[in-house]
Structure 1
Amino acid sequence: VLGNKPALVEFYAPWCGHCKNLEPIYAQLGESYASKKDKVLIAKADADTHRELASRFGIRGYPTIKWFPKGIDEVPEDYSGGRDLESLRMYVEEKTGTRGTVKKVVSHVEVLTDRDFEDKVRKEWTGKGKNVLVEFYAPWCGHCKNLAPTYEKLAADFVNDMDVIVAKVDATVEKAVAQKYGVSGYPTLKFFAAHSTEPQEYSGGRSEQELINYINKHAGTARAPGGKLLANAGRITTLDSIASQFAALAPSTTDDEKKVLLQDGLKKANDLLTTDKNAKHYVRVFEKTQESPDFIASESARLAKIIQSGTMTPTKLDEFSIRHNIISAFVAPQAEQDDELERDEL
C-alpha cells in the first residue's frame, strides 16, 4: 500500500484508550493531507490484529507512530513528538516540505471568561434548566491539545440539545474563575447540572463516546457519536408498555379487543400532552392505528426511508428519528429487527 512514498503510520489497538483519544486528531491529519497522497501518506495499522506486522517493526506499546521515509521496506524512525494536530502536522511538513491543508472548524464550544462565567453558567444557563460541561485548559498543555478535536466534536454532537452547553475556559488567563473552582491541573472538566449549586468534577475517559455517555446520564439526553439520536430518544416508558402489549397481541385478537387497548393508550397519551412534548407522537399512532391496521408498518417504513435519505436539516433528522423510535415501540421484536436490517440496506 505504501509503495515507495514517504508515510507516517500509526500502529494502534482497537481497545487502547490512548489510541481512541488520538483517533480524531489523526483523522484530521489524514484529511489535511488527503489531496497530497502523491507526496506523502498518512496511514494506520491495527497492530493487535496484524501481529506479524507489529512484530516486524518492534511495536511494544500503543499507539506507536513511525515515519517511513521511502515506503515500508525502508528502516522507519520513531515519532516522539506531541500527539496534538499541530505537532503532527509540523513533523510531516518538516520531513516532506509539504504543508497540509487543515480545514477551519466551526466551533460550537462556548468560550467563557472571568467576566461572564457566573452570569452565563449560573444565571443564564443552569439557572434556567440547562446543563453545562466546562473544560478548564491551558494553551501549552499537551493533554488539552489532544482533547481539543474530541471536545469540538462533543459540542457539535449536542448542538441540537437546547439544554446542553459545552464550554471552555483558558485557565491561564481567566485565573479568578479557575481558582474559585479549584482547578490545579489541565485539562479539568466540571459538570454544572441544571439548577445545581455545586459542579461535579468529571474523572472519566476522554473519548467522544465516554464524554457523550456521561452527558446522556447526567442531562437525560440520548445522543450518539456524530450527533445522531439513540433508539430510546423520545420514548415514554408508560406508553411504551401499552405499545409493546399491542405488538404482542395474538393474530386471533379481535378488532374490538385491539380497540380497547388502543383507546386506553390514547387516553394516557393525551394525559401526558402538557408534560411531555413527545406524547403527541404516541397520540397520532394510537389514533391512526384505529383507523388503519396497516398504519404502523407503512409509517415505520416511510420514516425509515426519510431518515436514510440524508436530505434534511439536523433538527428535522432529530424529529423524524424520534417519531421512528416511538413507532418502533408498536412493532414486535422480530419485525423491528427486520426493519432495522432494511434501513441498513437502504
Structure 2
Amino acid sequence: MRTEKRKRSPGNTVLLSLVLALKWFGADDSTKSDPYDGGRELNDLAAFIEKSSGVKSNIKPPPPPETLQLSYRDFDEVVMDPENDVLVAFTAPWCGHCKSLKPTLEKISKTFKPDSKCIIANYDADNAMNKDIAARYQVRSYPTIKFFPKGSSNKDAVPYDFGRSEADFVKFLNEQCGTQRAVGGGLNELAGRLPTLDSLAQSFYSADKAARETIYTEVKAAGENASYYVRVMDKLASTGEAWIEKEIKRLDGILRKRSMAPTKLDEIKKKVNILNAFLEKKVEDIKEAVEETAEKVKEEL
C-alpha cells in the first residue's frame, strides 16, 4: 500500500512524496490488519512473518559479517588493547549512509583479516546500552569513523576524515597499521621486499661467477629476512636464469586461483615480489605502480 504525503514548501508549492506502507492481514479475519513498522531487510521481514504466522522460514541466515561487531561489553577490551590498531565505524541501524558504507567495510575487513592486529569494527551507537561509549567519543551523527592507534591502553580517538571508498580505506590502514594490503585483497607489489637486498639481487642476476659468490655471502649474512633471496640465488646458480620467469608464471597461476588459505597466498605473493626484484623491477617503480593502481580503482569506484 502506498500513502501520499503532502507538504507545502516556503514558496507555497505543494510537495508530494509516496511512502510504502506494509500491513499484516491474518488468516482468521481478512478485514482487519496490523501495520508493520519493522525493518525492511529480508531477515526483518522473514522474522516478522514467521512470528505472526507460526510458519517457520526456510530462508538461510546470512553468513556472519567480516566486520567485527562491538558492543559496550567488549569495546574497551578490543579497542583499548595496546597491541591493536582499530578502525571503528559508529553507526545506527536506520542510517542510510551507514547501510551504504557496510559493503565497503565488509570488503576491507576481509582484506585485512590476515593482519590480526589491524581491526575493522562496527559499533551500533544507537543502541541504548551502547550510547555511553558513543557519547564518550562525541558521536553525534552517523556514520562517525574513528581510528584508535596501538601503543597505549588509554587511546585517544583520531577522527577519520578521508574518502570512504575501498581504496581510501586500504591506503589509510596500510599507513597506520604498517601493512601492505592491496585493494580487492591480498598483498601489494611491495610486500616481502627489502630495498638493500633488491639491489644485491639485481647485481647477482647479471654478475659473473666470482662476483656472485661475494654477493651471495653478503646476502646470506642478512639473516632470516634474506632467506628467500638466498634460495633464489641457489636456484639461479644451479638451473640458470630461465628458472625465474617460469617460477613467477607458476606462482602467479596459484595466486589467480585463490584456492589456498589467505596466509599461504600471502607467502606466495611475497615470493613473486622477490623474484621480480631479480628482474630489476625496482621498489621505486613498484611504489609508483601501486599508487597508480590505487588511484585507478578509486576513480572506477
Q: Same fold by TM (over 0.5)?
A: yes
Superposed displacement of residue 202, structure 1: 0.5
Aligned twin of 2:244:
296
Superposed displacement of residue 103, structure 1: 8.8
Q: State the SS of the aligned residue for 2:278.
A: coil
Query: Mapping of 1:221-232 within 5 angstroms?
Result: 221-232=179-190
Aligned twin of 1:244:
202
Q: Is residue 142 of structure 2 the alignment partner of residue 175 of structure 1?
A: no
CA shift in 2, pair 1:265/1:168, >3 Å: same
Q: Is residue 180 of structure 2 the alignment partner of residue 233 of structure 1?
A: no
Aligned twin of 1:194:
150
Superposed displacement of residue 208, structure 1: 0.9
The match for 1:155 among 96, 109, 116 is 109
Aligned twin of 1:213:
171
Aligned twin of 1:142:
96
Aligned twin of 2:73:
115
State how far apart, in whole Å, the 1-side matches of 2:80 and 2:274 are.
34
State how far apart, in whole Å, the 1-side matches of 2:229 and 2:267 are.
13
- Structure 1 unaligned segments of length 5 or more: list them: 1-84, 91-100, 338-346
State how far apart, in whole Å, the 2-side matches of 1:132 and 1:142 are.
23
Superposed displacement of residue 330, structure 1: 0.9
State how far apart, in whole Å, the 1-side matches of 2:134 and 2:226 are.
42
CA shift in 2, pair 1:283/1:255, >3 Å: closer
1:110·1:168 contact (CA, 8 Å) conserved in 2? yes
Q: State the SS of the aligned residue for 1:136.
A: strand
CA shift in 2, pair 1:208/1:86, >3 Å: farther
1:244·1:331 contact (CA, 8 Å) conserved in 2? yes
Superposed displacement of residue 155, structure 1: 0.8
Superposed displacement of residue 311, structure 1: 3.0
State how far apart, in whole Å, the 1-side matches of 2:217 and 2:246 are.
21
1:144·1:186 contact (CA, 8 Å) conserved in 2? yes
Give the letter aligned to residue 157 of structure 1.
Answer: T
- Structure 2 unaligned segments of length 5 or more: list them: 1-39, 46-58, 287-301
Aligned twin of 1:325:
273
State how far apart, in whole Å, the 2-side matches of 1:175 and 1:286 are.
59
Once the two structures are superposed, residues 54-74 of structure 1 have per-residue CA deviations (whole angstroms, 9 ceiling, x without a partner) of xxxxxxxxxxxxxxxxxxxxx
CA shift in 2, pair 1:293/1:264, >3 Å: farther
State how far apart, in whole Å, the 2-side matches of 1:103 and 1:157 are.
23
Once the two structures are superposed, residues 117-155 of structure 1 have per-residue CA deviations (whole angstroms, 9 ceiling, x without a partner) of 1122113xxx2x221111101112111111111111111
State how far apart, in whole Å, the 1-side matches of 2:67 and 2:112 are.
10
Q: Is residue 267 of structure 2 the alignment partner of residue 313 of structure 1?
A: no
State how far apart, in whole Å, the 2-side matches of 1:290 and 1:237 are.
22
Once the two structures are superposed, residues 281-310 of structure 1 have per-residue CA deviations (whole angstroms, 9 ceiling, x without a partner) of 223223433444334344323322332344
CA RMSD for the aligned pairs? 2.8
Give the letter aligned to residue 122 of structure 2.
Answer: K
CA shift in 2, pair 1:102/1:230, >3 Å: farther
State how far apart, in whole Å, the 2-side matches of 1:171 and 1:310 are.
36
1:111·1:169 contact (CA, 8 Å) conserved in 2? yes
For these two proteins, the number of residue pairs brought into alignment is: 225
Give the letter aligned to residue 230 of structure 2.
Answer: V
2:112·2:181 contact (CA, 8 Å) conserved in 1? yes
Superposed displacement of residue 318, structure 1: 1.4
2:173·2:179 contact (CA, 8 Å) conserved in 1? yes
TM-score by length of structure 1 reads 0.59
Q: Is residue 240 of structure 2 the alignment partner of residue 286 of structure 1?
A: no
2:91·2:98 contact (CA, 8 Å) conserved in 1? yes
